[in-house]
Structure 1
Amino acid sequence: MTVIVEVCIDSIQSLPIAQRAGADRIELCSSLKLGGLTPSAGTLYQAIKQAHVPIYSIIRPREGDFVYTGEEAEVMLKDIATARQAGGHGVVIGALHADGSLHLDLLDAMLKEAGGMGVTFHRAFDHCADPMTALDAILARPTIERVLTSGGATTAAQGKTQLKTWVEYTRHTSLRIMPGAGITVTNAADIIDHTGARDIHLSARTTRPSSAHTKPTVAMGEEDESGYPITDPILVKAVKQAVAHLN
């Protein structure tokens, strides 16, 4: 079975780079430095127009935890509707209660709004107080195709033992466990080989220098503005090659 390499991007400039480098699927975000937030409608429509691989839009209205207010839930449902109306292939979702359990009512509402699109449950899973109970609840919702997770660790390499347990637990179901967080050229093959997963998720970011001819004297945020993040095609190609022999 082919190993699917998913690349997360947060700009329209990164889309053709990731595609040419061999990305099999795109997770479309904004603000990857914040863990990935919902992309703008303009970015979403333009990406879908240009894409020749599936585009999954993350639905995350803000940085921080995954415990959402009623107003934030409404925003998320509207963003899912926008992704569906734009012709997106799927959405990447997740929501929790304050006690670390899945917010099943909101999850079901989001699945209903997705209306047949593909669905990934994102790394809110790694914030669950009882991952096995959460995994059983996700398995009971077969429209969810995969879970993006680091195995509850800081990186997927550190969590690979737990990832293997979850891959084996879901092996005879339609749900796929997708390792993500800290995926590099040097560890991708080992993670796939150890866990038995058939999807892998990475950002493969580098920094592109600013094209401005003047140096900004006023900061627009907390980050260095001498450049901006963009997909590195060399890293994407290298990970594709690293896992190709495992197909």
Structure 2
Amino acid sequence: MIIEVISDTLSDALIAQEAGADRIELVTGLGEGGLTPSYGVIESVCRKLTIPVNVMIRPHSRGFCYSEEDIEIMIQDIKVCRKLGAAGVVFGVLTSDYQVHTDHLKRLIDASKGLGITFHRAIDDAEDQFAALKIIKQHPQISRILTSGGQKSAIHATERLKRLNELTANSPMKIMAGAGLTANNIKMFIEKVPVNEIHFGSGVRYHSSYEHAISPEKIQAIKNIADL
């Protein structure tokens, strides 16, 4: 089981790594759902960590429908992430009517050559998750899809997530479940949804809040359950 942890600072990323996290999703603007961090943060985290670091590519928090100017900025951010040593990038793009934006997606994929790609929870805003999955699966460069199954918490979408996982079973693309998962509910969740990758945010922080630091004890508890 791969455990990915959201971090927005070098100190949190180091704590997560030491506690046993397998990968970091590096962001800023946690209260806005995650935005592209500064180049200084990207460089320092990628240089000092030994586990993979995937960087959020999101220029603003006004949804996932982007202008031409936004896409050009995202492409430049991807290029910088490659230079700074990121293992991968994280993005998602939709049209104004909540379909996967195929042109924007292709351009971002082309810019990400040599990097791992995660299509993030923009898929949870898609009008039809299964139609979105069908489009995303046409791009083998995409390593995984982060999703809560269209619900605020993945716990409330176990049947949807199980089906999404089944639809990717014979492809190199993985479903990574995230949102609302904690050490208290992860055992029940993975018994119902046998995914190989889990994404944690506030669930591994003290007081379950982004206002507080990452708790190594919570990550270790999750690792102990996931490794059973």
TM-score, normalization by structure 1: 0.88
Match of 2:223 in 1: 240
Question: Aligned AA for 1:24?
Answer: D
Q: Distance in 1 between matches of 2:39 and 2:28?
A: 11
Match for residue 230 of structure 1 among 209, 213, 220: 213
Match runs of 1:100-119 below 5 Å: 100-119=98-117
Q: Distance in 1 between matches of 2:140 and 2:148?
A: 21
Question: Relative to structure 1, is the Cα distance of residues 64 and 190 closer, same or farther in structure 2, using a 3 angstrom cutoff?
Answer: farther
Q: 8 Å contact 1:205–1:230 — kept in the other structure?
A: yes
Structure 1 residue 64 displacement after superposition: 3.0
Match of 1:205 in 2: 205
Structure 1 residue 115 displacement after superposition: 1.2
| Greater Cα shift, 182-191 or 46-55 | 182-191
2:2 is the alignment partner of 1:12: no
Match for residue 144 of structure 1 among 136, 139, 142: 142
Q: How many residues align?
A: 224
| Greater Cα shift, 114-123 or 62-71 | 62-71
Match of 1:181 in 2: 179
Structure 1 residue 229 displacement after superposition: 3.0
Question: Aligned AA for 2:206?
Answer: T
| CA distances 1:93-147 after superposition (whole Å, capped 9, x unpaired) | 1010010001111111111111120000000000011111110111110010100
Match of 1:43 in 2: 41
Q: Distance in 2 between matches of 1:185 and 1:13?
A: 22
Q: 8 Å contact 2:47–2:85 — kept in the other structure?
A: no
Q: Distance in 2 between matches of 1:33 and 1:24?
A: 23
SS at match of 1:17: helix
Match of 1:29 in 2: 27
2:92 is the alignment partner of 1:94: yes
Structure 1 residue 4 displacement after superposition: 0.3
Which structure carries more helix by proportion?
Answer: 2
Question: Aligned AA for 2:165?
Answer: V
Question: Aligned AA for 1:205?
Answer: R
Match of 2:66 in 1: 68
The structure with the larger Rg is 1
| CA distances 1:50-85 after superposition (whole Å, capped 9, x unpaired) | 011000001011113101111111111111111011
SS at match of 2:150: coil
Q: Distance in 2 between matches of 1:25 and 1:109?
A: 25
Structure 1 residue 29 displacement after superposition: 0.4
Q: Which runs of 5+ in 2 are unaligned?
A: none
Q: Distance in 1 between matches of 2:142 and 2:131?
A: 15
Q: Distance in 1 between matches of 2:85 and 2:55?
A: 11
Identity value in percent: 38
Q: Which runs of 5+ in 1 are unaligned?
A: 208-226
Root-mean-square deviation (CA, aligned residues, Å) is 1.2
SS at match of 2:160: helix
Structure 1 residue 205 displacement after superposition: 2.1
| Greater Cα shift, 189-198 or 178-187 | 189-198
Question: Aligned AA for 2:28?
Answer: S
Question: Aligned AA for 1:72?
Answer: D
